[in-house]
Amino acid sequence: MRATRRPSGWRPASARSWPLSGCRTPTATGQGDTSRRSRKTAGCFAAQTLPAAMIERGRMRLFWLRVPLRFVFILDKGSPPVAARNALEQPLTRLAIAAAAGFIASAGFAPVSLAGAAAVGFIALAYLLTQAKGAAESALAGWLWGVAYFSAGLSWTFHSMHVYGGVPAVLAALGVLLLGAALAIFPAGAALLCALIRAPRIVSCALVFPALWVIGEWLRGVAIGGFGWLSLGYAFTEAVFGSWAPVGGVYTVSAVLVFAGSAMVAFLMVPKERSLTRAGLALWLGALVIGSVALGNVTWSEPGKRLEVRVVQPDLPLVIAARPGEDARRLMRLAAMSERSAMGGKGLDLIVWPESVYAQPLERLVLEAREPQRIAEKMGATVLFSAFSEPLKNQFYNAVWVARPEEAAARVVYAKRHLVPFGEYVPAGFRWFVDQLGIPMADQQPGEIAQAPVRVAGVDLALSVCYENMFGEEIRDWWSLSRPGIILNQSNLGWFSDPAAVQFTQMNRMRARETARPVLQAMMGGYSALILPDGEFDRVVDKGAQNMDLTVQAYEGEATPFVRYGNVPLLALMLVFLGLGLASRLLAARRGLGA
């Protein structure tokens, strides 16, 4: 089955709450013009000149700022009602609102994808911290915000613990809360340190807290194996602040969001008679927004060569324990789907299989290990597939293999370097947990950091396997060895429910924007997609066994600023802002203004 080219606002029938973008007009399967050019000139862009279309695109991306802006300026009209003011003076009320704000902020991510909700949730927390009575309350407010935020946003982990791990429902729900409580340490730490620094209130709100927040998000993405899921920047992948992704990555998108939100709150804190300070904050906010719109019209890469690609989405069941003949049965479906004639009679350059096609390491198999090579020779195309490798006894790698028509046998071209805690390696002291879930081959070895790129029909591919799409800093390592034209991610999210798949896709869209390269997402059970360099969908397929045949346009040109410099400039700037906060505290103390 050939996938239908979708407009950017398409969402599958089984995921009604997928994010809408562009003209926000869903298109049914097989309907409408299938060219990308037609999408850019259809609907709300019809009959517009190029400058008008650019203005319209900027207007739509500013849509998600309307809710937080209205929220702030309604508050700024005057003092809140007496009852609300009295309620906010109660610590328990403030803490309850913090938890509610965290829950609201989680709606900024797929599958709900209300970016404005993420902004409002953060703004509410920043405002509550200005009202907190002491460092303890600030830390507790940040922690409760984080518990609600992460527990709601990562509720799909319940499915893997309960359905596949056999954990009772009550304990699985408790596990989700414990995960949220652990991750909440990072927003709690930012709130606590902000209170302990004791800079003047406006400086603390506008500079210190957002800088600490960004550093906390970065630490969460690299600490304890790294878990950057639900970084605030992902909520704005397709919204106005997402245009900063090529400049500094997802954490820069987060930074622009939190600094803009904090500037709104600081604006509220400044007495109206201090017009110069309010004007400065308004200019700062305006610069962030205008800069975001301007960056959205920058072209970071140019079209290059084209590849004829087939992504096979076999929808094979999850294998908990391999049984005799299991791999042979699975490969029958893969072979039948891979060998279908390409629509239009085009020859294929590349056939891609998702992660975890084989239930056993390839070295343990004979006939089944030969099958990708046979398909490559028959179709005259390169086959990229994922399978475990066991070069030495009990030394497992989650590897990507390549089978080429001109070569004698398939070989490993990439070994997954960033392993999933508990799923692919066992953190110290947690063997009991992994055994309870029954995860096979949970003691894997990481691949080398520098691995040679794969070239197909003159195009270099940057490879990643599943969870590695979370780490933009690692994707950019491919540019140290080559100039990739396409990023390929092979995944199997069978352990998790649908919300995990759409959040996962949201991260691949961010990787496309960061690198200005298309991302080809090959999934086992659903939502295989081609994501364009601007983060929009070119193709996406729904759940079920089907092929996605498409022409993939590689992109070339200079590396984006993020690819060249990574997170270093952003972190340096955050340290400067913290330094300014500390300096303002010392200056205020010297002038006798207090903290």
List, in order, residues 6 or more apart from 274 with CB less than 8 Å away.
Answer: none
- 118 in Cβ contact with 110 (< 8 Å): no
Peptide bond into 111 cis (omega under 30): yes
Contact 260, 288 (CB under 8 A): yes
Amino acid, single-letter form, for residue 235: A
* Tokens read off for 15: 């995921």
Residue with tokens 């930012």: 190
Residue among 550, 67, 9 nearest 311 (CA) = 550
In whole angstroms, give the CA distance from residue 70 to residue 9: 25
**Long-range CB contact pairs, 319-325, < 8 A, 24+:** 319/356, 319/359, 319/440, 320/164, 320/438, 320/440, 321/438, 321/440, 322/359, 322/360, 322/440, 323/359
* Amino acid type, 77: K
CB contact set of 505 (below 8 Å; sequence gap of 6+): 110, 521, 527, 529, 531
Distance CA 137, CA 96 (A): 12
Q: What 8-state DSSP symbol labels residue 207?
A: I
| Residue positions annotated with a catalytic role | 355, 416, 466
Dist CA 17 CA 111 (whole Å): 5
Which of 483, 453, 469, 473 lies closest to 557, judged by CA?
Answer: 483
Query: In this structure, how many other beta carbons lie within 10 angstroms of the beta carbon of residue 5?
Result: 21
Helix, coil or strand: residue 316? coil
Indicate the pairing of strand 411-415 with strand 395-403: antiparallel
288 alpha carbon, distance to own chain's centre: 22
Q: How far apart are CA 327 and CA 387, in angstroms?
A: 11
The C-alpha atoms of residue 163 and residue 495 are separated, in whole angstroms, by 9
| 3-class DSSP state of 199 | coil
